[in-house]
């Protein structure tokens, strides 16, 4: 019969069953990216870093943008409600950006990794991700090397942008399973 264990941190005896449940809960779970979708954590990160703008504007490199950073079909003078912007962001996130992660990544991912990559692709675009060293390292199983690649993507229009530095640090933190909210201003 299995013995109970004394937990020094709580001063309580923990049963063998509770120990097994706790170990299972603490294990990092990896999934086939083809079966994954962005979580609320991904959506929160995008909303935090993109912010909401109800009127179309040109981003730092001149791309027409609206809502929570959506760019597809945006025209000068266009407006959008917050509700419409959230709906559009969610649709485009899963249809275009997370689908790029699903179709390009060939190794198992945690939900945090999938979310960080989806947020990254939402910001940089699918073609950049498809041709990136990050994806190459990831598909070779070099998770640490892939995580280090986030820091290289901090330039827009040849300029290093403080907002991109923060965003990439947050994406890397999430990719590594750490708290990312400390990077939000």
Catalytic residue positions?
A: 50, 59
- Characterize the bridge pairing of strands 12-14 and 5-7: antiparallel
- Angstrom distance (rounded) from CA 114 to CA 101: 7
- Angstrom distance (rounded) from CA 44 to CA 26: 23
Going from the C-alpha of 144 to that of each of 29, 58, 97, 149, 150, the distances in angstroms are 17, 34, 22, 9, 11
Task: Using the structure block, give the residue that is written with the tokens 């689908």.
Answer: 99
Give strand ranges (E) for 15-156: 53-58, 64-67, 155-156
Positive or negative torsion for Cα 167, 169, 175, 177? negative
- Angstrom distance (rounded) from CA 106 to CA 33: 8
Measured torsion, CA atoms of residues 57, 58, 59, 64, in degrees rounded to the nearest 10: 90
């Amino acid at each position: 019969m299995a013995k109970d264990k004394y937990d020094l941190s709580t001063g309580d005896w923990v049963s063998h069953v509770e120990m097994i449940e706790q170990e299972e809960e603490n294990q990092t779970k990896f999934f086939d990216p083809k079966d994954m979708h962005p979580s609320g954590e991904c959506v929160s990160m995008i909303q935090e870093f993109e912010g909401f703008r109800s009127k179309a504007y040109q981003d730092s490199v001149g791309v027409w943008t609206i809502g929570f950073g959506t760019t597809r079909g945006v025209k000068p003078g266009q407006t959008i409600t917050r509700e419409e912007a959230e709906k559009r962001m969610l649709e485009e996130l899963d249809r275009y950006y997370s689908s790029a992660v699903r179709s390009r990544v060939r190794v198992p991912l945690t939900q945090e990794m999938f979310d960080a990559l989806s947020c990254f692709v939402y910001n940089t675009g699918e073609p950049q991700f498809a041709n990136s060293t990050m994806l190459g390292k990831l598909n070779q199983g070099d998770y640490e090397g892939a995580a280090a690649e986030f820091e290289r993507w901090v330039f827009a229009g040849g300029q290093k942008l403080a907002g991109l530095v923060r965003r990439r640090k947050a994406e890397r933190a999430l990719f590594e399973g750490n708290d990312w909210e400390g990077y939000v201003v």
